[in-house]
């Protein structure tokens, strides 16, 4: 297992070629004292003569400034690792996105990845604040993943002289991202268990190798391996599978938290390594656990035994887990899709590169707002180049519209988004943004209690319902749909009620989705259904406001249900 | 040319047979090995646990540190135990095991009493020895690190002589031995029993004991657990209550009471312990939780969990962290994966009676669907079946679905059942089993069993019911095993009063005789023997000779009658090792039972045709 030392630990947010610059994934909050990590800015075509290459394979668009050989090697390696990951986590438990992911490969000098404008801005800021010299608090990540609600993008620095595709690995952070993006939401215990297992997995030389489990610490693990009868604390299964909301209020003793983290990994490892029916039971159970709170009956329906038996089995497996290296036969992998490396068109360069640069805006806004403008300017420049040349590809237009929204120019976004959705672009967020802007226009200047006709709301419903046909399902689409129906004079038809109920089912773990849906259902005399939605999501409320709102609405609806039909609509949002 | 191949084949079969036999013997040995931790104690600050473990015929105490788990200290309880004494006595046990302080453990083996031989009284007569008996009642202590182990006091330290044996002031200061040395005539002596009453709360290094049974009145003493020094104690310390009451040794009060029921339960009088019990029951659904001990502040609670297929585990509940620390499995030599799945079940019979039991499913059935073995409890209403039963595991290994039933009255006979039970206890029990079979079949459609291959088994009164089931419902129950079972209830319930009969002839009759033995009892209808002609299905009678005269006589008579009917039953004489659960004896008997079932239940030659029910 020493072979890891020589491998390139890469990925969607990866790090190729042995770079020493820090990598900061977009979804990882930066520590207060840690240097701010900025996304690299790619060198303009006017400065670099290296051509862009393009590959579209496996649901990802690759834009590369590396050689065709390196690009192909990278894409093949990447797709292979994705296939291996599916051995560990079946595809149905990963995020599904109809919008292709974006991956930009580059290989120029890293010094060229910070624009002069940004450097000037940083120096000016530091001079104003008397801060330490430039470069000591801001780094440029050579590799980074940035994500939006309906897609994600990665930029990868490759030192072609050192690159070896076989050493490519997907980072645990990316695995977490694709697990967290799955709809319906996977329970936290499963996501964390898989992620921790993955951190100890090696997909490089002997696919797939799980190194011995570390239980709390290496010392504790060694002690358990040498004395299988050593006392050990495990959480009972009903506490292991508890909802996030209950986790938040349970005993937070460090040893308990440590036990939880280790046991989540132990459970996943046990079920996965045992294989056969136990592995099948795990995924059957995972499906049920994603739909709602876990009960012993649900668990037993999958595994054939109860919670107490599970605790015993995990406890008995623990001494083995801390000692054994498990080899998982991935079986016969499907053939890779055809990979064609071609010279990128101006449209592809603008779209893919522009998408990356657009995503960087939001990231920089959160981390270092004073350098936001150069990133906005860079993204606009890239996207405009194709637009000004007459390109009206709806994907380009959607990206441009979203870029304007991210830049805070909502007014300017619609001129791009409206034609994009009119052309049927695959971009759920674009539809949502258009609907949101239209609904805001409709509500502007009218009382909150005013109801609208279906005709008035149709321009909002239309894009939202189009968004529902694309993956991933967005929570905000269902929320907006519910809010629109709550303001509609006319009751939804059966199919439209079904859409709301789908939202409640897909996002059962999110009371912020369930609550407006329940309001809309209650508004249109579906009180029993509204109560069911609230009941399903009540256990997941993590903050007091949401909990109080759900409880209040639940009580109002229960009271209404107990009375003869009334026209009363439960009151406002919490 | 074929011969070598045949030889090789034969040799292979022989080796495979030997291997299987050895494997079966190992399995029986493992299942019947005494479990760990029959007794346990948690130290006052909750940092250490001490528990007992059998070492052959001996006993050891294992001490473990929960804070810094490392090698466990093992202390032999009584290394000087006389070998001859040990041979004919049951395995060593403790009567007391408690931590005095965080670092010192006090324990006491069960008392052993050795009467002295009779003495000659002239004319060839012998009379009981006026001295003694010799009482071995050591109270011992050991440090948590296994050091400073030794006997603090023993009964011999309190040997007494009659008051009139001490004639002078000097005599009062002499020990009995010194006194005897000063006299020409023999000095009478007696040893008292030592009872342990507890620790002095403000000074737990002082153990309070009481002597009783010597020449003097019972007296209380303080024993220093560091030195063994004894001084008299002026107080009147109450005796701690015994089971079923649960005593808090820190607060010196009864805090609960163990209850007999279908599953072990404790009725807590102490609110805090009641809350802990409920918390633990939530953590271990479908299992039985038994709180055993607790630290002084109750921040840590020692408890045992039983149920499911597991022979039991012991945990410490660390309440401040809300963590349950598993400290030991009671039978760690048994692989959980190789144990057959066992589940508790309960339901209400058609007449409203609450019935319960355990169902063990064979991990590797030999037939599809597997046969069902119904095991009757050994008494009536008897005690609830144990959650883990080695015998059920053996029969599940042999391919049976094993249903171990509790009688309807296991938690106490209900008034509404009394009439039916007094009239026909056998029919009520057999009807309950039928109801259970129907319920099991209905509730487990995905795990069918062979309704045409249902066998019965029981020991004692349960064996009687196993055979009565064959007589009453021959179409339901196809064969049966009766172990030390009374085939005729009247002589069994009314053994003749004979001088010199060992008391064990009466033992084991776990049944209230008045339920059956009353004026209106129809003994003939209750007797297997009197209805021998109704016993048409194969039965295997296993009897330990001379254990119970009534059983021996009735069994012989039944065998003779059945032989006369051309249906001689299978019969096996058991050795004493079977009742004592000695593995080698058990393995032999289970093999014979397997052969019986192979012949009479499993075999393709078995003809299962219509049978007539006899009322």
Question: At B583, is the secondary structure helix, strand, or coil?
Answer: helix
* B470 within domain boundaries: yes
Contacts of B283 in chain A (CB under 8 A): 236, 238-239
Q: Compare CB distances from B323 to A256, A306, A311 and report the shortest one's residue.
A: A256
CB contact under 8 A, A235 and B320: no
Last residue of a domain, one of B294, B329, B364: B329
* A312 within domain boundaries: yes
A129 close contact with B: CB closer than 8 A: no
* Average predicted confidence (pLDDT) for chain B: 89
* B27 within domain boundaries: no
Question: At A55, is the secondary structure helix, strand, or coil?
Answer: strand
**What are the tens digits of pLDDT across the range B436-459?**
999 999 999 999 999 999 999 999
More confident residue, A176 or A17: A176
Q: Compare CB distances from A306 to B286, B322, B329 and report the shortest one's residue.
A: B286
Contacts of B326 in chain A (CB under 8 A): 231-234, 315
pLDDT at A103: 95
pLDDT at A32: 47
Contacts of B285 in chain A (CB under 8 A): 238, 296, 306-308
- pLDDT surpassing 90 at residue A320: yes
Same domain, B207 and B278: no
- pLDDT surpassing 50 at residue B416: yes
* B30 within domain boundaries: no
What is the value of pTM for the model shown? 0.87
CB contact under 8 A, A251 and B325: no
For A374, A519, A535, A570, the CA distances from A565, given in Å and listed in that order, are 59, 17, 21, 13
Contacts of A306 in chain B (CB under 8 A): 285-286, 308
Calpha distance A74→B494 (Å, rounded) = 91
Burial of B97 (0-12, 13-18, 19+ CB in 10 A): buried
pLDDT at B144: 96
CA–CA–CA angle B484, B488, B489 (5° rounding): 90
> From the candidates A219, A228, A233, A278, which should be mutated to test the interface with B, based on the most B CB atoms within 10 A?
A233
Q: Which residues of A195-214 are buried (b: 16+ CB within 10 A; e: fewer)?
A: bbbbebbbbbeebbbbebbb
Question: At B478, is the secondary structure helix, strand, or coil?
Answer: coil
The bridge status of strand B112-114 relative to strand A152-157 is unpaired
Q: Which domain holds residue A302?
A: 212-324
Same domain, B112 and B161: yes
Q: Which residues of B touch A (CB under 8 A)?
A: 64, 66, 69, 282-287, 305, 307-310, 313, 316, 318, 320-329, 332, 335-337, 341
| Separation in Å, CA of A269 to nearest CA in chain B | 17
Calpha distance A543→A387 (Å, rounded) = 45
pLDDT at B18: 55
Same domain, A415 and A431: no
More confident residue, B273 or A546: B273
CB contact under 8 A, A229 and B287: no
* A199 within domain boundaries: no
Same domain, B541 and B447: yes
B266: part of which helix (H) or strand (E)? Answer: strand B265-268
Please state the φ and ψ torsions of residue A456, each to the nearest 5 degrees: -65, -35
Chain B contacts in chain A segment 249-268 (CB below 8 A): 250-251, 253, 255-256, 259
Same domain, B564 and B426: yes
Calpha distance A282→A299 (Å, rounded) = 9
Lowest mean pLDDT among A10-14, A205-209, A293-297, B527-531: A10-14
Same domain, B194 and B271: no
CB contact under 8 A, B326 and A233: yes
What token pair was written down for A211?
């190194």
Measured between CA atoms, the residue of chain A closest to residue B288 is A308
A248: part of which helix (H) or strand (E)? Answer: helix A244-249
DSSP class of B534: G
**What are the tens digits of pLDDT across the range B577-589?**
999 888 999 999 9
pLDDT at B179: 81
* Interface size between A and B, measured as CB pairs under 8 A: 80
- pLDDT surpassing 70 at residue B408: yes
Calpha distance B379→B388 (Å, rounded) = 18
* B536 within domain boundaries: yes
pLDDT at A13: 38
Same domain, A233 and A132: no
pLDDT at B15: 53
Measured between CA atoms, the residue of chain A closest to residue B325 is A233
Q: Compare CB distances from A233 to B310, B325, B341 and report the shortest one's residue.
A: B325
CATH number of residue A524's parent domain: 1.25.40
Average pLDDT of B340-369? 93
- pLDDT surpassing 50 at residue B615: no
Calpha distance B263→B387 (Å, rounded) = 8
Contacts of B69 in chain A (CB under 8 A): 223, 227, 230-231
Domain count across chain A = 4
- pLDDT surpassing 90 at residue B55: no
Chain B contacts in chain A segment 281-300 (CB below 8 A): 296
DSSP class of A472: S
Residues facing residue A103 across a β-bridge: A62, A154
Same domain, B196 and B91: yes
CB contact under 8 A, A308 and B285: yes
> From the candidates B315, B326, B336, B363, which should be mutated to test the interface with A, based on the most A CB atoms within 10 A?
B326
CB contact under 8 A, A309 and B309: yes
* B33 within domain boundaries: no
Same domain, A492 and A535: yes
Same domain, B296 and B377: no
Calpha distance A79→A57 (Å, rounded) = 8
Q: Compare CB distances from A231 to B287, B322, B326 and report the shortest one's residue.
A: B326
* A127 within domain boundaries: yes
**What are the tens digits of pLDDT across the range A42-58?**
766 666 678 899 999 99
CA–CA–CA angle B34, B40, B44 (5° rounding): 170
- pLDDT surpassing 70 at residue B469: yes
**What are the tens digits of pLDDT across the range A296-313?**
999 999 999 999 999 999
Calpha distance A434→A418 (Å, rounded) = 7
Calpha distance A313→B335 (Å, rounded) = 10
What token pair was written down for A502?
């789908």
Last residue of a domain, one of A401, A425, A449: A425
Average pLDDT of A204-232? 92
* A440 within domain boundaries: yes
Same domain, B83 and B108: yes
Domain count across chain B = 3
* A58 within domain boundaries: yes
* B322 within domain boundaries: yes
Same domain, A171 and A246: no
Report the share of chain A in percent with pLDDT over 70. 85
pLDDT at A539: 83
Same domain, B349 and B318: no
Q: What was the ipTM of the complex prediction?
A: 0.86
Q: Compare CB distances from A231 to B66, B284, B285 and report the shortest one's residue.
A: B66
Helices A511-523 and A475-486: crossing angle in degrees, nearest 10, is 20
> From the candidates B37, B46, B286, which should be mutated to test the interface with A, based on the most A CB atoms within 10 A?
B286
Q: How confident is the model at residue B5 (pLDDT cuts 50, 70, 90)?
A: low
Measured between CA atoms, the residue of chain B closest to residue A315 is B326
Q: Compare CB distances from B321 to A253, A311, A312 and report the shortest one's residue.
A: A253
- pLDDT surpassing 70 at residue A24: no
Same domain, A483 and A412: no
- pLDDT surpassing 90 at residue B175: no
- pLDDT surpassing 70 at residue A15: no
Measured between CA atoms, the residue of chain B closest to residue A307 is B285
CB contact under 8 A, B318 and A233: yes
CB contact under 8 A, B336 and A259: no
| Separation in Å, CA of B104 to nearest CA in chain A | 21
CB contact under 8 A, B322 and A311: no
CB contact under 8 A, A308 and B307: yes
Question: At A105, is the secondary structure helix, strand, or coil?
Answer: strand
Calpha distance B291→B280 (Å, rounded) = 9
Please state the φ and ψ torsions of residue A19, each to the nearest 5 degrees: -70, 150
Same domain, A249 and A319: yes
Last residue of a domain, one of A324, A355, A374: A324
Contacts of A312 in chain B (CB under 8 A): 308, 310, 313, 336
CB B455 within 8 A of CB B505: no
> What is the rounded radius of gyration, in angstroms, for the C-alpha atoms of chain B?
28
Same domain, A286 and A398: no
- pLDDT surpassing 70 at residue A174: yes
CA–CA–CA angle A481, A484, A486 (5° rounding): 110
pLDDT at A25: 38
Same domain, A228 and A318: yes
- pLDDT surpassing 70 at residue B84: no
Same domain, B410 and B374: yes
Q: Compare CB distances from A255 to B287, B323, B341 and report the shortest one's residue.
A: B323
Measured between CA atoms, the residue of chain A closest to residue B314 is A231
Q: How confident is the model at residue B236 (pLDDT cuts 50, 70, 90)?
A: confident
Alpha carbon A354 to its chain's center: 20
| Separation in Å, CA of B361 to nearest CA in chain A | 12
Q: Compare CB distances from B328 to A229, A235, A316 and report the shortest one's residue.
A: A229
Contacts of A307 in chain B (CB under 8 A): 284-286
Same domain, B363 and B310: no
Residue B57: closest CA among B78, B30, B29: B78
Half-sphere exposure of B178 (CA within 13 A, CB side): 7
Same domain, A281 and A401: no
Measured between CA atoms, the residue of chain A closest to residue B447 is A304
pLDDT at A476: 97
Question: At A409, is the secondary structure helix, strand, or coil?
Answer: coil
> From the candidates B48, B289, B321, B324, which should be mutated to test the interface with A, based on the most A CB atoms within 10 A?
B321
Q: Compare CB distances from A232 to B282, B307, B326 and report the shortest one's residue.
A: B326
Q: How confident is the model at residue A20 (pLDDT cuts 50, 70, 90)?
A: very low
pLDDT at A37: 80
* A417 within domain boundaries: yes
Q: How confident is the model at residue B36 (pLDDT cuts 50, 70, 90)?
A: very high
- pLDDT surpassing 70 at residue B11: no
* A471 within domain boundaries: yes
pLDDT at B58: 86
Half-sphere exposure of B538 (CA within 13 A, CB side): 20
Lowest mean pLDDT among A428-432, B32-36, B89-93: B89-93
pLDDT at A162: 87
Chain B contacts in chain A segment 308-337 (CB below 8 A): 308-309, 311-313, 315-316
Same domain, A399 and A436: no
CATH number of residue B456's parent domain: 3.40.50.1820
Measured between CA atoms, the residue of chain B closest to residue A297 is B285
Report the share of chain A in percent with pLDDT over 90. 68
Q: How confident is the model at residue A554 (pLDDT cuts 50, 70, 90)?
A: confident
Last residue of a domain, one of B329, B355, B377: B329
Q: Which domain holds residue B60?
A: 40-240
> What is the rounded radius of gyration, in angstroms, for the C-alpha atoms of chain A?
26
pLDDT at B167: 79
Contacts of B7 (CB under 8 A, 6+ apart): none
**Sheet architecture: strand order including B354-360:** B342-348, B354-360, B401-406, B372-375, B454-459, B479-483, B539-543, B570-573
Residues facing residue B139 across a β-bridge: B153
Q: Compare CB distances from B320 to A223, A253, A259 and report the shortest one's residue.
A: A253
pLDDT at A9: 36
For A43, B490, B492, the CA distances from B511, given in Å and listed in that order, are 94, 13, 11
- pLDDT surpassing 70 at residue A463: yes
Same domain, A47 and A169: yes
pLDDT at B17: 58
DSSP class of B598: I
Same domain, A154 and A95: yes
pLDDT at A127: 65
* B184 within domain boundaries: yes
CB contact under 8 A, B336 and A313: yes
- pLDDT surpassing 90 at residue B120: no
Measured between CA atoms, the residue of chain B closest to residue A252 is B321
* A356 within domain boundaries: no
CB B343 within 8 A of CB B420: no
**What are the tens digits of pLDDT across the range B517-547?**
888 899 999 999 999 999 999 999 999 999 9
Q: How confident is the model at residue B70 (pLDDT cuts 50, 70, 90)?
A: confident
- pLDDT surpassing 60 at residue A109: no
Same domain, B589 and B509: yes
């Amino acid at each position: 297992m020493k072979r890891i030392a020589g491998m390139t630990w890469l990925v969607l947010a990866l790090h190729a070629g042995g770079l020493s610059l820090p990598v900061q994934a977009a979804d990882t909050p930066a520590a207060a004292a840690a240097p701010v990590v900025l996304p690299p800015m790619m060198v303009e075509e006017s400065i670099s003569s290296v051509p862009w290459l393009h590959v579209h394979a496996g649901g990802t668009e690759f834009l590369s400034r590396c050689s065709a050989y390196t690009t192909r090697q990278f894409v093949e390696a990447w797709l292979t690792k994705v296939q291996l990951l599916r051995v560990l986590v079946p595809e149905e438990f990963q995020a599904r996105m109809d919008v292709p992911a974006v991956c930009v490969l580059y290989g120029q000098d890293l010094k060229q990845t910070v624009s002069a404008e940004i450097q000037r801005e940083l120096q000016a800021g530091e001079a104003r604040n008397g801060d330490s010299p430039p470069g000591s608090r801001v780094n440029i990540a050579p590799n980074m993943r940035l994500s939006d609600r309906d897609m994600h993008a990665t930029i990868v620095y490759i030192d072609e002289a050192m690159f070896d595709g076989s050493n490519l690995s997907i980072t645990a952070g990316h695995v977490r991202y694709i697990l967290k993006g799955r709809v319906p939401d996977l329970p936290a215990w499963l996501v964390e268990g898989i992620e921790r297992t993955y951190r100890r997995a090696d997909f490089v030389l002997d696919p797939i190798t799980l190194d011995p489990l570390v239980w709390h610490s290496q010392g504790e693990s060694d002690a358990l391996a040498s004395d299988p009868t050593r006392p050990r604390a495990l959480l009972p299964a009903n506490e292991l599978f508890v909802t996030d909301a209950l986790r938040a209020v349970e005993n937070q003793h460090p040893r308990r938290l440590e036990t939880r983290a280790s046991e989540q990994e132990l459970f996943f490892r046990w079920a996965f390594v045992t294989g056969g029916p136990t592995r099948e039971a795990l995924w059957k159970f995972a499906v049920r656990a994603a739909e709602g709170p876990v009960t012993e009956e649900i668990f037993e329906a999958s595994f054939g035994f109860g919670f107490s038996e599970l605790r015993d089995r995990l406890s008995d497996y623990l001494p083995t887990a801390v000692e054994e290296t498990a080899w998982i036969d991935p079986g016969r992998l499907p053939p890779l899709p055809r990979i064609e490396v071609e010279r990128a068109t101006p449209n592809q360069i603008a779209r893919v590169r522009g998408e990356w640069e657009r995503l960087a805006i939001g990231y920089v806004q959160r981390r270092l707002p004073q350098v936001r403008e150069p990133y906005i300017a860079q993204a606009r420049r890239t996207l405009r180049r194709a637009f000004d040349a007459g390109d009206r590809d709806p994907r380009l237009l959607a990206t441009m519209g979203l870029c304007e929204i991210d830049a805070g120019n909502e007014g300017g976004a619609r001129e791009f988004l409206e034609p994009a959705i009119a052309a049927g672009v695959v971009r759920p967020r674009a539809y949502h943004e258009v609907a949101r802007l239209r609904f805001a226009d409709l509500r502007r200047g009218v009382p909150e209690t005013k109801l609208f006709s279906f005709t008035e709301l149709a321009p909002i419903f239309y894009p939202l319902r189009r968004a529902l046909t694309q993956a991933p399902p967005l929570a905000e689409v269902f929320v907006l749909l519910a809010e629109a129906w709550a303001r509609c004079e006319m009751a939804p038809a059966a199919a439209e009620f079904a859409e709301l109920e789908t939202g409640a089912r897909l996002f059962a773990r999110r009371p912020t989705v369930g609550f407006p849906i329940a309001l809309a259902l209650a508004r249109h005399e579906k009180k029993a259904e509204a109560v069911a939605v609230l009941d399903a999501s009540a256990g997941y409320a993590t903050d007091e406001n949401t909990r109080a709102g759900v409880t209040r609405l639940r009580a109002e609806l229960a009271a209404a249900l107990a009375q003869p039909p009334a026209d009363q609509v439960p009151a406002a949002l919490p | 040319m074929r011969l070598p191949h045949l030889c090789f084949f034969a040799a292979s079969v022989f080796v495979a047979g030997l291997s299987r036999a050895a494997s079966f013997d190992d399995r029986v040995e493992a299942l019947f090995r005494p479990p760990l931790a029959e007794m346990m104690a948690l130290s006052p600050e909750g940092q250490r646990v001490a528990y007992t473990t059998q070492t052959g015929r001996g006993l050891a105490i294992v001490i473990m540190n929960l804070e810094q788990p490392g090698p466990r200290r093992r202390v032999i309880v009584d290394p000087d135990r006389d070998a001859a004494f040990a041979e004919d006595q049951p395995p060593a046990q403790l009567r007391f095991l408690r931590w005095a302080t965080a670092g010192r453990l006090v324990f006491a083996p069960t008392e052993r009493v050795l009467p002295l031989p009779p003495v000659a009284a002239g004319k060839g007569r012998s009379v009981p020895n006026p001295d003694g008996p010799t009482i071995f009642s050591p109270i011992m202590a050991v440090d948590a690190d296994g050091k400073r182990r030794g006997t603090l006091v023993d009964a011999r330290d309190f040997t007494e002589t009659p008051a009139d044996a001490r004639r002078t002031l000097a005599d009062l200061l002499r020990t009995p031995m010194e006194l005897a040395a000063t006299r020409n005539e023999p000095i009478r002596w007696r040893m008292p029993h030592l009872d342990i009453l507890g620790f002095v709360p403000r000074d737990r290094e002082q153990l309070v004991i009481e002597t009783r049974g010597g020449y003097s009145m019972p007296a209380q003493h303080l024993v220093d657990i560091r030195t063994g020094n004894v001084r008299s104690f002026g107080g009147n310390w109450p005796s701690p209550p015994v089971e079923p009451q649960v005593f808090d040794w820190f607060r010196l009060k009864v805090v609960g009471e163990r209850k007999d029921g279908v599953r072990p339960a404790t009725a807590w009088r102490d609110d805090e312990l009641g809350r802990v019990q409920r918390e633990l029951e939530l953590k271990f659904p479908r299992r039985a939780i038994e709180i055993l001990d607790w630290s002084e502040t109750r921040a840590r609670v020692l408890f045992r969990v039983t149920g499911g297929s597991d022979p039991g585990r012991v945990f410490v509940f660390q309440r401040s962290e809300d963590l349950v620390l598993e400290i030991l499995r009671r039978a760690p030599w048994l692989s959980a994966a190789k144990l057959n799945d066992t589940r508790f079940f309960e339901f209400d019979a058609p007449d409203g009676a609450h019935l319960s039991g355990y169902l063990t499913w064979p991990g590797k059935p030999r037939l599809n669907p597997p046969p069902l073995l119904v095991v009757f409890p050994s008494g009536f209403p008897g005690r609830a079946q144990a959650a883990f039963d080695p015998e059920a595991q053996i029969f599940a290994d042999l391919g049976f679905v094993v249903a171990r039933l509790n009688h309807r009255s296991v938690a106490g006979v209900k008034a509404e059942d009394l009439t039916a039970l007094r009239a026909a206890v056998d029919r009520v029990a057999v009807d309950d089993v039928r109801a259970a079979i129907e319920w099991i079949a209905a509730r487990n459609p995905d795990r069918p069993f062979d309704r045409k291959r249902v066998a019965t088994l029981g020991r004692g009164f349960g064996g009687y019911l196993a055979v009565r089931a064959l007589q009453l419902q021959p179409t339901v129950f196809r064969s049966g095993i009766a172990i030390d079972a009374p085939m005729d209830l009247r002589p069994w319930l009314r053994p003749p009063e004979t001088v010199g009969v060992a008391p064990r002839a009466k033992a084991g009759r776990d049944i209230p005789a008045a339920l059956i033995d009353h004026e209106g009892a129809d003994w003939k209808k209750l007797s297997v023997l009197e209805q021998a002609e109704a016993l048409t299905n194969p039965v295997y009678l296993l009897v330990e000779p001379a254990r119970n005269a009534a059983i021996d006589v009735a069994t012989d008579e039944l065998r003779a009658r059945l032989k006369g009917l051309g249906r001689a039953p299978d019969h096996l004489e058991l050795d004493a090792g079977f009742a004592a659960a000695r593995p080698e004896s058990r393995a032999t008997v289970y093999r014979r039972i397997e052969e019986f079932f192979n012949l009479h239940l499993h075999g393709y030659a078995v003809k299962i045709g219509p049978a007539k029910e006899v009322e």
